Structure 1
Amino acid sequence: LALGVVAMALGETDVHPRGRMKSAGIALLLFFLISSITELTLPYPAIFAPVLAIMAFILVLVGGIDSRLQGVTFGSLLILVYTMLGAGNSDKWFHQPLLLTAGALCYSMVSILLLYHRPYRLLTDQLSRGFSYLAEYIELKAGLFPSNPAMQRSIRNQLAQKNTQLAQQIEACKNDLYSYSEESSPDAQSQLSSYYRKWFLLQEMQERVISSHEQYDLLTEQVKNSELIEGFGQLMRELAKAIALYAESMITGEPYRHPLSLRWTVSAMQRMLEDAKGEAHHLTLSLLMRNLIGLEKNLRENEESGSQIDLSAFYARKPERKRLRELLTPTHPRFRFAVRLTLGWLLGYGMMLLLHFEKGAWILLTSLIVFQQTYSATRMRLFHRVLGTLLGVILGVALAQLLPTHAGHILLLLGSIYAFFYWLKKNYTIAAIFITTFVLAVFNLLSSQGVEVMLPRITDTLIGGAIAYLVVRFVWPDWQYKQLPTLLHAAVVKSKRYFESIYDGSVSDEEYQHNRRQAYNADNALTSAWKGMRLEPRKSRQYEESAFNLTNLNHALLSYISAFGVHKHSEDLTEEERLFCQKVSGVLHYAAELLTGNADQSRLDALLQEASCWEERIEELQNKKANRRAGLIYNIAHVSRELLIETKGILNSKSK
């Protein structure tokens, strides 16, 4: 019963009560079917081995269609392994399928009833988490005002990680909103619109927070008034506290109260900036201040920020779905993942039979949890799983001695599963500790052998982890250096489109938001691939230095474009500024073409020569007071030129 609850809870993805009922119905049917087939064929290894392979391959492949089926099929794979673990505990084959399904049914009933009681709770949780990440990002960024060269690299690395979390969370909010829209009736649209506007607000504030108006070390060195720079850091910290309060108010349901300390800090900074009029970098600092005031205004007015966008088109949006035919190709990552997991399970089952492990299904369970679609993700998950299991065994054995009674085991079981789900999305190592103590409590309740099965669990975990590592390492290894050219091209193209959306006045707000989100997601994918590349074997890290430089340049480009986008409504661009933007866009287009090998390379030297004269052209623009955003455009132009030079370097290294 308890394992049925765990499988259903881990496979749960739908945020709407009606959608959750649909996924629960599919899951319960699959759970009973998979468990029954496993029970009936497990005593006959020659039959069970091909059945295991077929079920694993089909379930993994079908899980790639959409998020609902991904959750349901993952739960079904867990049920398959749990059935193997519990085989032999009953004389009747149907006892275990019924009990596992009954546990899943009990959980589903409670889950659906709670969701009907508070139908928007999960949407609120997701959006609140997004604002929390935003607060953490700006708190980290405050450490760059003033900039300490010794700390700058560390802070930038932390900012990159937090930016990845934020981009992924915004995408998760989008998927949940689209899923909710699909299941909602027209009567619910007015209430759902409030959540869409909060999502728009989160994206607008993300653009403000990620934007860079100037190099931070340059500002720290050249601005004479150090208190002014420190004041910007303090204002950012106050904003971070206010955003965290806003995120908390969404969870608690209490009305958000804008902090008086934030208003006071804004007023104090405005006076300090006014006193520094005429100093170097005053225009840059004024634009930065305008951005932070805009952030404070976003927070104060919250949902009013997205009120200009027509929501009618969003109510018809649906979550992304793939056709099964798309997945049935050897080049698709999901197909390769299905093949790897199937092979890993067959090897694990073979080891279980060869070594006569009574509870050898833990090998399969470890492989299922550890297997990820990339080598680097698998390696990280393997480390967390093994460490968590070892620590969990130590903690579990100690707690079993302290709580030797049935009541103590039940208390340990309930406490462990609560702690597991609490930590699952926060820290997988800690989650693995508590799922291990949960298993110990389960076996103590079933047969008073919880402590005895811990040593086999460690052995099986190590074997299952080793199998997962070897299969991912040698079977269709999907090295990141093969993906980087495609990801770099996509990132540059989408950054260019985002840039053009700012200076092209014909783009609608909805299209602008879409282009901005696409650019952030492409940058996030590129950064994640680069991080994954660093964990891969050294011989597979081709073009490592160039990839690192291009990844950093693209992120810097996106930060400067964001700063440009923040001020797009403040005043119209002059014709000179617009023409210069078009030249920069042309360089970005050419760099993207170079990455795919489709560019006319005879134009390269002429473009580089033209770009080398941009400083003089920017100085001419800045001498005219009307060109107030020439400095922001120059930052974009400078990084675009560096990106073109780095791309040329990759071409030269390939031709040698």
Structure 2
Amino acid sequence: MEKDKKMNNGIKRLVDGITYIWVNVFWKSPNHLWALKVTVSIACLLIPAELIFHNSFIGTTLALGVVAMALGETDVHPVGRIKSAAIALLLFFVASSLVTIFLPHPAWFAVVLAVMSFSLILVGGIDSRLQGVTFGAMLIIVYTMLGADGNNLEWYYQPVLLTIGAFIYSLVSISLLYFRPYRLLQQQLARGFHSLAEYIDLKANLFPSDPQIQVTLRNQLAQKNIELAQQIEACKQDLYSFSGESSQEALQTVNHYYRIWFLLQAMQERAISSHEQYDLLSEQVKNSELLDGFGRLMREIASAAHLYADSLLTDQPYKHPLSLKWTISALQTMLEAEKDEPHWLTLSLLMRNLTGMEINLREEEKTIGQIDVAVFHSRKPERNSLKALLNPTHPRFRFAVRLTLSWLLGYGFMLYLNFGKGSWILMTSLIVFQQTYSATRLRLFHRLFGTLLGVVAGVALTQLLPTVPGHILLMIGSIYLFFYWLKQNYTIAVIFITTFVMGAFDLLANEGIAVIFPRVIDTIVGGVLAYLSVRFIWPNWQYKQLPGLLLNAVVKSRRYFESIYDGAITEEDYLHNRRTAYNADNALTSAWKWMRLEPKNVRRNQDRAFNLTNLNHALLSYISALGVHKSAEDLSEKELDFCRDVSDVLRLVSEMLTRQADEAQIASYLQKANCWDEQMEVMMNDPGNRRVRLIYNIAHVSRELLLEARGIIIDR
């Protein structure tokens, strides 16, 4: 009995240990889980192919089918995943078959390659599902070309193997999704809360504010805000997809995730809001412990947001940290001691904002339960018509033309320079190509640097693992690390896909090291072709985009501002106006970021663009601060009048950006805006104007925008 008891305890400890590893390593980390799915699928195909068929070509071809399907999957709903998998399998077989049939006939193949690449890229622009599927199909084209070099096989051999590999991965992925149908939706929302937590944690460094690091810190915050906004939009698309595929019964569960999405947006508004210029606040507040306390509270809120994200991933109830309430209580006591100081009102509003974030998390069910989401059941993911995409001015059309020409040139290099594995030229062009010059240039650097490091690592590893089991181990380990790092650090991911390729060629023909030099040359050629295509074919310089992006940002910010004080606006309209204002600001910030990587001769109006981008972001931060407190109490009549005056100035700025403004109006509004300082001081003496300081911050930036807009020259 004692022996059985010990055995049972040992088994229980083992099960508990495995469960702990599964939950904390894989279930809490979507990147680890994704890498595990791909690795298991490849291992289940590669190892039996070696043991049963003793044919490395079968194993590696099946593995490449897995990789293509994994890189191309997008849908989060089980039904949607089945639909996209079915489309992908059909496309994979057809694309691979066309390559094997026409590859022996170079002239015909060039035509087929051009038609396939242009068509796939264009169709991929219709919606996110097709974008993933068509990208996987383009990978299959290159993989088939790689496998066809020097192999006299029946035309259907590779298409069948690649499709089987893709099918096996789909089976694994859909099976896991069947048992956890909301898993991928939970992952997207969890990523959003993790991004929010990182933003809050970074912003905590502004309390107190150090002038020496403020510029760097603000740039980092802007980048984090872009990531957060992009993740919120990704959640929106996935929620719309779920709504379209779910039954009436399942919609009740989907509603819960809609509410969590709105909770994320509400906390985003609180996180990016600015109640005062932080450098001025740090100078005014003499009690350094008080400012440190605000920073400490923000870090604890960030930690709580991470915990909330983990609870979404593990399906476990969220446990609110007790330390948060203690920190708030201590900070409120310190704040009360400052009640007679001029900065007290600003700090009290900031405290109310941070306390609101804590309440959002602590009372999440109460917070999200108040939102009516039934109106979103009819929403669908964004789609473009094929007719709209067939317009030469559309970015997707131009992208298709660039990549198609790049592939044709790469194929020409393969033929006339007799490159051994020249298909890698096409692979590099496909991976390096991005919508903009700056993004392509950045991706090219990461690709080249990662490939060189991967070659060094691959040489060492292939020497350490010279046997067949060693090659398989290298491939499996490399593909796991590639997929784990792919969404986190592209350079590191490239290192491991390079070692994977070297392991595969060592397994196929014991020539892993022999392909090093061609691999590097082809990578350089493919990258340069992608770079030159983006640089000289319909170059889309950011200075041409900035005026339109700035106009859109100002218009959307003004609409968001008016939504706060306009009592006739519904909650749904307010949430929409807020989200679109954030997206417009992030588009403007991204354009400025990419402009800095463009050639110097096309960075027109760079300084003014920088000023306007910063002013609009500051404007949005101050509007967000007012929005945070919109439900606390009604604005006074004087505050409402002040808001309307500011809105008129923002309207005038948008008219100036479109050259529709009246010169007399500009002078009149500038004169009026110059009196706002005195107006604010008078209003501050009335206790009923509790939010006049927040409105003044918006007014101050609006006035600066008006001054900057006077010198803007719109390039058409």
Q: Normalising by structure 1, what TM-score?
A: 0.98
Q: Is the 8 A contact 2:255 2:374 kept in 1?
A: no
Whether the aligned pair in 2 keeps the contact of 1:443 and 1:449 (CA below 8 Å) is yes
**What is the distance in 1 between the residues matched to 2:388 and 2:547?**
23
| Letter of the structure 2 residue corresponding to residue 80 of structure 1 | I
The question of 1:501 aligning with 2:569 is answered no
Which secondary structure state, in structure 1, belongs to the residue aligned with residue 420 of structure 2?
coil
Deviations 1:381-432 (A, max 9, x none): 0011111111111111111111111111111111111111111110100111
CA distance in 2, matches of 1:254, 1:330: 51
Q: Which residue pairs with 1:614 in the alignment? A: 676
Alignment of 1:143-162 (within 5 A): 143-162=205-224
Match status 1:591 vs 2:653: yes
**Aligned with residue 629 of structure 1, among 691, 695, 698:** 691
**Do residues 20 (structure 1) and 44 (structure 2) align?**
no
Aligned pair 1:543/2:605, yes or no? yes
**Who is 1:513 aligned against?**
575
The 5 A counterparts of 1:375-454 are 375-454=437-516
Alignment of 1:570 with 2:632, yes or no, is yes
Q: What is residue 335 of structure 2 aligned with on the other side? A: 273
Aligned position for 2:35: none
> Does the Cα contact within 8 Å between 1:194 and 1:303 map onto a contact in 2?
no
Q: Please point out which of 30, 41, 44 is paired with 2:102.
A: 41
Q: How many residues align?
A: 654
CA distance in 1, matches of 2:534, 2:425: 16
Distance between the aligned counterparts of 1:471 and 1:66, measured in 2?
Answer: 25
8 Å CA contact retained: 2:683, 2:692: yes
CA 1:654–1:4: 2 relative to 1, 3 Å? closer
1:7 alignment partner in structure 2: 68
**Within 5 A, what are the aligned runs for 1:128-139?**
128-139=190-201
Task: Select which of 682, 699, 702 maps to 1:640.
Answer: 702
**What is the TM-score normalised by the length of structure 2?**
0.90
Q: Deviations over 1:441-472 (max 9, x none)?
A: 22122222122112110000000001111111
Aligned partners of 1:309 and 1:510 also within 8 Å? no
> How many angstroms does 1:252 deviate by?
2.3
Question: Does the alignment pair 1:340 with 2:402?
Answer: yes
- Superposed displacement of residue 351, structure 1: 0.8
Q: Report if the CA contact (8 A) 1:198-1:303 is conserved.
A: no
- Residue 321 of structure 2 corresponds to residue 239 of structure 1: no
* Offset, 1:304: 2.5
Establish whether residue 330 from structure 1 lines up as the match of residue 376 from structure 2: no
Partner residue, 1:456: 518
Query: Which amino acid in the other structure matches residue 602 of structure 1?
Result: A
Q: Tell me how far 1:598 sits from its aligned partner.
A: 2.0
Please report how far the alpha carbon of residue 25 of structure 1 lies from its aligned counterpart in structure 2 after TM superposition.
Answer: 0.7
Q: Can you list the C-alpha shifts for 1:496-537, whole angstroms capped at 9, x where unaligned?
A: 000000000111111111100000000010000001111000
Measured against aligned partners, the alpha-carbon deviations of 1:472-509 in whole angstroms (never above 9, x if no partner) come to 10010000000000000000000000000000011111
2:76 counterpart SS class = coil
Taking only the aligned residue pairs, the percentage that are identical comes to 69
Query: Is the counterpart of residue 51 in structure 1 residue 112 in structure 2?
Result: yes
Listed one character per residue, the Cα deviations across residues 564-617 of structure 1 (whole Å, up to 9, x for unaligned) are: 000000000111111110110011011011112222233111111111111111
Q: 1:91, 1:122 → 2: CA distance?
A: 39
Q: Which amino acid aligns with 2:67?
A: V
Could you tell me how far 1:90 is from its partner in structure 2? Answer: 4.3
User: What are the ranges of 5 or more consecutive residues in structure 2 without an aligned counterpart?
Assistant: 1-61
Which runs of structure 1 show a deviation greater than 3 angstroms over 4 or more consecutive aligned residues? Answer: none
CA contact (8 A) 2:204 2:296 kept: yes
1:223–1:280 Cα contact (<8 Å) kept = no
Q: How does 1:292-307 map to 2 (within 5 A)?
A: 292-307=354-369
CA RMSD of aligned residues (A): 1.2
User: What is the match of residue 473 of structure 1?
Assistant: 535
Please point out which of 635, 649, 652 is paired with 2:711: 649
Aligned to 1:83: 144
Q: Following TM superposition, by how much is the alpha carbon of 1:250 offset from its aligned partner in structure 2, in angstroms?
A: 1.7
Query: In 2, Cα distance between the equivalents of 1:448 and 1:379?
Result: 34
Report what 2:616 is aligned to. Answer: 554
Report whether the alignment pairs 1:492 with 2:492: no
Aligned partners of 1:363 and 1:464 also within 8 Å: yes
Aligned: 1:523 with 2:600 = no
- Please tell me the residue identity of whatever aligns with 1:279: E
Structure 1: which 5+ residue stretches go unaligned?
A: none
- C-alpha contact (below 8 Å) 1:366/1:464 kept by paired residues: yes
**Preserved CA contact (<8 Å) 1:480 1:533:** yes
Cα distance in 1 for partners of 2:660, 2:514 equals 64
Q: Is the 8 A contact 1:90 1:96 kept in 2?
A: no
For the 8 Å contact 1:56–1:338, the answer to whether it is kept is yes
Aligned 8 A contact 2:458 2:499 in 1: yes
